Each structure stands twice: as C-alpha cells, then as structure tokens.
A and B are shown apart, each in its own frame.
Chain A
Amino acid sequence: GENVEQHPSTLSVQEGDSAVIKCTYSDSASNYFPWYKQELGKRPQLIIDIRSNVGEKKDQRIAVTLNKTAKHFSLHITETQPEDSAVYFCAASNGQGAQKLVFGQGTRLTINP
C-alpha cells in the first residue's frame, strides 16, 4: 500500500523567513496531494492541494510543488508569521474507487518572533 514519509519532524524559523516541508510517496498511482494545518487541539484544516497533472500551485504565501518522477512534493511558506505555527501534514491518495488519504507523520513548525 501507499506510504508517505514527511521531513523534517520539527522546523523552527525566524518570522519573515521561508519554511519548506518535504514529503515522498511510494505509490506511483497516487494523483492527489493535499496539505493540512493542525493547530493544537483543533481539526486538520485543508490549506492547499495539488493534482498530478500540475507541477506547482500557489495561494498567496503558500505554494506546493510536485515531482512525479521522483515521487516527492513539498510545501513552501514564504514570509512566515507567528500564526503559521502549527503541525502540518501532507497526504496522498490515488482516488481509484475510493479516496483514502495516507498521511505523513507531520511537521511541527514554530515561527520565532
């Protein structure tokens, strides 16, 4: 089955700097890659997603890139702010007959003022 590896497990950056979180997946049939942000004690919140027919997608300060050949995708956050502090999860799905999301282990991002 699908396996998603996420790195780093913790990341600390200065406010205003950029943060990058990377994920690799094992199933070449995976074609949908969402990213979720989870603040302490709250629900995972979808922040951006990308499908395999697209190499990059951007939404304001957040961007996701996908390399299908290498089977990895990354989340980029620019001009980080204190409210970006949270745990971020990547996930993958092949959407064939079902839509089971396989999640990475999460990255705890801390923005230092």
Chain B
Amino acid sequence: DSGVTQTPKHLITATGQRVTLRCSPRSGDLSVYWYQQSLDQGLQFLIQYYNGEERAKGNILERFSAQQFPDLHSELNLSSLELGDSALYFCASSASGTGNQPQHFGDGTRLSIL
C-alpha cells in the first residue's frame, strides 16, 4: 500500500460525458501529480500541484482540468469524453514539489469510454 488513495477504481461512461477522478496523497505529502497510462502512449505526465497551486503542466488536453484543495486532495476533471480518453489514470504524491523527491503512485482509476 503506497498510502495514495484514488477513487473510483473503475469508471464506465459514454462519449461526451464528464467525470471526476479523486486522489488523496500520502500523509504529509504536499505535491500531487496526475499521469495517464494508455497502451499506445505509455505513462504520460498531465499536471502537478503543490500545496494548492499548479506547479507544472504536461500535454494535458484543454478538456481536462485539475485542482488541489486546502486539505491537499486533488481532483482531475475530464469533460467531453472521447473514445481515446479510455486509459488508466494514476495519481502520485511526493513530499515536496521540487528537489526530486520520490513519487509514490496510487492504484489508479480505469476509465472506459463506450
């Protein structure tokens, strides 16, 4: 158990819909990262938050957005869903936002778009 909690474990929805993925970091960790894992693209960095503020952005689509709340949990919102958005979405956390602290991953949310 990494200490990073992600809900839900599975999501099945239709094209055009909107979903919210939730992540609670390890106790004491201030940084949260979101990654997308698909068969053809591997593990891709989406976005990082540190103590409530956006710290870094990857190739995150405009249809996707995220935030980190005062209690440090984070949500990833995916809207106008397309078939290609089907993937595993992982959240990771680290103690700080810089200095190359180890990132520990949650168990992921498997999103299936029908």
Chain A residues proximal to chain B, CB less than 8 Å: 31-32, 34, 36, 42-46, 49, 51, 89, 91, 93, 95-106
Contact = CB atoms under 8 A, between A and B. Distances in A.
Interface residues of B, number: 26
B51 interface: no
Given A89-B43, A98-B48, A32 B55 contact: no
Given A44-B90, A106-B42, A99 B107 contact: no
B70 interface: no
Interface string B44-79: 110010000001101000000000000000000000
B42 A95 contact: no
Contacts, number: 69
A66 to B, nearest CB: 13
Contacts of A97: 55-56, 98
Contacts of B56: 97-100
Interface of B: 2, 31, 33, 35, 42-45, 48, 55-56, 58, 90, 94, 97-108
Contacts of A43: 2, 90, 105-108
Contact of A93 (B44, B100, B105, B108): B100
A101 B98 contact: no
